[in-house]
Structure 1
């Protein structure tokens, strides 16, 4: 018969062994994947191992005849095990796992932010932003991609063209969606239901009172309320680095080099021959026999083009960079703009801070991949200002809803006085929060070089809210949130907006139009969904940088595939469409090889 001590030992081992083995096994994936042995030349050299680059590298390496090099400026995805924990996502915004990008100070905007700048971070790690984002799986509206064809002349990039690639990348784990014609099974990226508290049902019931019904926002119609679909597999973040590269293991025809900073593309007679990079403090060069592929993201890809002499003539002349090709690189920067608001509730049924304390939540996550450590947001909605436009055009507003007070100032970047007033007083409050996201701002920005030093961050002028219509539209989104909070479903929780009664806008009546406009000017932020800086367009479109084959116009052997090629920002979080675009592009490259 077992003694009490033996029983205790067995219980401890039952917890510790799965936890340790789980992390040891995962750790080996990143460590065994990378190499310092870089050859002199490859068929394809891919710059950036993020959401797109990891996909392209893995797919090209499926053909044993391809020699592929993937260069990533950050580290591998197992260097910190918390990367894999969904609830830890926001911890990585202020770290070396993210590029520390910030906007310029802009008149009349970001008034309540530190230095009057909004954070514009991107992932700097294998898997890129898919390794540090909030795991929200949102494809966008079918109208987004059809507009790529009808408005921008990008033949082959409509919704019907991309749907097979959304499905190819997906391994849906939501029982109700497994039979859906819009979802795929067996792909690398797991799509699971979000963690839910008892507040979740109130969110959906409130949506119904507003006239919106529960929907699969990645299905036939995006409009409505839904549980968030998450890129999570058994509690573990399903990033492109882990799923496309790590789980496939080291391949003999694919070299993955981390902590490798690309400084310039070598271009001769409009042909990209390779790239210069710095690794271990040494400057090196690698040749690409077929293509150099930029997948460094919507900020780094245009920066590298500009440093290499591809961009607007006047801007490059001002920096004494020899012009190779005059193209509108960085001339359009799209992003979503958001205001994050909280509302107090009178019940402790949400993701209250104490739910994360103690040993049990950690045990639950380690043993079962479940519990609060899998949680970020619980519900989302996509809505139209004019409901007669439902299923006729893209939605205007997205809500991301959580049953916890959002007060992580590493994301918000509020200055000290505003953080003290809007965050510090309420950190342990029972609350619900909303990220009110304007999906299609009229204002667009630019990316320019600060200097010829590749280590200097580029100049990011967002021009957020420069168009007054964007302020009006964001105000309309706030009014939608007021309607949401006033529903019977939310009033049953005692939902109260007075938590937002900010003194810095006290010259205006609380909740008046002028009050909310004041709040928008102070606390609206970029939402980390930068796109379109190397936008795709038909060959005679003078505003585009790449053609529908993702070739840089007028250049040979130079391609771009990441969010920078989107003609405009999509309706929702951008990670899923980046992955689908990368899947399609990899197939295009394989088809080119077959036709030779």
Structure 2
């Protein structure tokens, strides 16, 4: 999650590739000598350069099918975090044919996506869907066009290929709620734990014997790149009464070193790990740059999909199931374009209604605010940290160093501490060991960016990303038009419930309490750089000042869920049942973040992968 301004980031990309070219001959010799698979042991930029200089196609290119058939057993729409898992698992049996349709490109289209520290630079490229919220009253006042950005991965691997590589499963109480409140029998914590472990290849020495972690799975879970700041964050947590914990283990509450989806310096995305390392299978076709526009429904049976590739409209049939894994915004959009959704909304757009379902009527997500602190010692990462040859060479040769940096410490906290161990936490804090200054992520307007970012991105300091984990306010997703190329209408409704503002204010007060500890005061932690002029009519650090800041610079944290909500068949708010079948339509399933009954406590990529693992297992049992 290394964050720098765009021009510096572009030059960093060029420098890495340039220095990599210089080293490619030595690395190629190292590969021949070791005879070890390069995507297992060397950084991604190095391996892609080796392949390039050897005159071979990249690993991503080698997976893409030149031709596709007219009919398959399974057609999976979307090769993201879930779709890549499903395609890999369902094609393990050579007796079943699988087609994976991806609107974007393969994962080596830009080889720098494999570098964890450059993650946020891809949020506003053609490797991401450029979704934005609508302009909403009283929120996002300091953001460009008063909108929060909601990018999602648009390539093989999906958002797992462009996110900050943070591995977070959620809280056991989240999944207990799925069962007890939403009626999702079979999706509790104990049901999902075996699939979290199946997907995981734990690389953290102290956790390798933990019964909560798995070894040998496709997705690496590694320790975080550490700076001297890490111990100060951890000590501040201890001073305020929190223990150090494995937040993906028995107890989530407390302070933890971040666990990352990084293997030897390479981003551990589902595309690379589940598809790339398996290689081509004769019964699995992967078609990139293929945008699915409609599901063919005949007498309430899904029989095939229409898609556009190279400017041509094409059609493919599915003998068994069509599985939508297009993501939290694309899956509901495709359902509604196909006549599955809220009756009145579809009729208003002239779409023939196949089934009246509450598609897009719940859009859940985390909302929060980013605050920063300067310090009086050179302990953090700055732009200067990445200049010169040393960090690039370290990354190229060993897959270590600041180019693998992400948030260093995370904390899960309760507003009411009497609820610890009885309910899930309310607040998550991330502490990146640098001042967050990437406006691809923050989306501040020019005047806010000039005031809160530009003067501080290259000084010693750090940020706190303060997330409200379970907002009361939820939004909606609606069609803008019948054109599949039109972005849907995304209303977040963030902070419409006033208690959400008060809860986020409580999270800010937690951050202030940490700032006042001996640990952070010993390095001169100073939050006066948040003294924004647009809220200067309030006393700095008063409740009203922080509420003003929330209204101006709060943003969405890209953990969107629940737009095709799972639930009982008789639940009028659900879209799919516990077998992920779309109510009232045969042979049509959904498997991605959209089926979450509610957003989980923390980053959502890990539970998406676990759900896909469990669902693939269910499908295998069905066909037997």
Give the TM-score, by structure 1 length.
Answer: 0.97
Give the length in aligned residue pairs: 585
Contact persistence 1:342–1:406 (CA under 8 A): yes
Q: C-alpha distance in 2, partners of 1:548/1:33?
A: 32
Q: Where does residue 6 of structure 1 map in the other structure? A: none
Q: C-alpha distance in 2, partners of 1:195/1:16?
A: 26
Q: Where does residue 530 of structure 1 map in the other structure? A: 560
Q: C-alpha distance in 2, partners of 1:80/1:107?
A: 38
What is the 5 A alignment of 1:48-67? 48-67=78-97
Q: C-alpha distance in 2, partners of 1:428/1:476?
A: 29
What is the 5 A alignment of 1:43-122? 43-122=73-152
What is the 5 A alignment of 1:574-593? 574-593=604-623
1:24 and 2:54 matched? no
Contact persistence 2:229–2:380 (CA under 8 A): yes
Unaligned stretches of 5+ residues in structure 1? 1-9
Distance 1:69 1:414, change over 3 A: same
Q: C-alpha distance in 2, partners of 1:262/1:136?
A: 30
1:440 and 2:477 matched? no
**What SS does the aligned partner of 1:297 have?**
coil
- 1:135: how far off? 0.2
Indicate which of 420, 426, 438 corresponds to 1:408.
438
Q: Where does residue 325 of structure 2 map in the other structure? A: 295
Contact persistence 1:277–1:284 (CA under 8 A): yes
1:430 and 2:460 matched? yes
Distance 1:584 1:15, change over 3 A: closer
Q: Where does residue 344 of structure 1 map in the other structure? A: 374
- 1:389: how far off? 1.1
Contact persistence 1:485–1:495 (CA under 8 A): yes
Distance 1:46 1:389, change over 3 A: same
What is the 5 A alignment of 1:118-517? 118-517=148-547
Bigger shift: residues 470-479 or 420-429: 420-429
- 1:213: how far off? 1.0
Contact persistence 1:412–1:525 (CA under 8 A): yes
Q: C-alpha distance in 1, partners of 2:29/2:449?
A: 42
- 1:20: how far off? 4.6
Q: C-alpha distance in 1, partners of 2:395/2:471?
A: 39
Contact persistence 2:28–2:50 (CA under 8 A): no
Unaligned stretches of 5+ residues in structure 2? 1-21, 31-44
- 1:22: how far off? 5.5
Contact persistence 1:396–1:439 (CA under 8 A): yes
Q: Where does residue 34 of structure 2 map in the other structure? A: none
Q: C-alpha distance in 1, partners of 2:170/2:182?
A: 17
**What SS does the aligned partner of 1:424 have?**
coil
- Over residues 292-316 of structure 1, what are the superposed CA-to-partner deviations in whole Å (9 max), with x where a residue is unaligned? 0000011000000000000000100
Contact persistence 2:48–2:58 (CA under 8 A): no
Contact persistence 1:382–1:396 (CA under 8 A): yes
Q: C-alpha distance in 2, partners of 1:308/1:203?
A: 50
**What SS does the aligned partner of 2:277 have?**
helix
- Over residues 285-344 of structure 1, what are the superposed CA-to-partner deviations in whole Å (9 max), with x where a residue is unaligned? 000000000000110000000000000001001000000000000000000001001000
Q: C-alpha distance in 2, partners of 1:16/1:196?
A: 29
Q: C-alpha distance in 1, partners of 2:200/2:47?
A: 27
- 1:12: how far off? 9.1
Contact persistence 1:223–1:390 (CA under 8 A): yes
Q: C-alpha distance in 2, partners of 1:375/1:339?
A: 21
Contact persistence 2:48–2:111 (CA under 8 A): no
Q: C-alpha distance in 1, partners of 2:383/2:29?
A: 27
- Over residues 526-570 of structure 1, what are the superposed CA-to-partner deviations in whole Å (9 max), with x where a residue is unaligned? 110110000000111000000000000011000000000000000
Q: Which runs of 4+ in 1 moved over 4 A?
A: 10-13, 15-22
Q: C-alpha distance in 1, partners of 2:192/2:415?
A: 27
**What SS does the aligned partner of 1:317 have?**
helix
**What SS does the aligned partner of 1:380 have?**
strand
- 1:15: how far off? 6.2
Contact persistence 1:15–1:363 (CA under 8 A): no
Q: C-alpha distance in 1, partners of 2:143/2:473?
A: 20
Contact persistence 1:402–1:434 (CA under 8 A): yes
Contact persistence 2:134–2:489 (CA under 8 A): yes
Distance 1:405 1:154, change over 3 A: same
Distance 1:248 1:25, change over 3 A: farther
Contact persistence 2:252–2:412 (CA under 8 A): yes
Give the TM-score, by structure 2 length.
Answer: 0.92
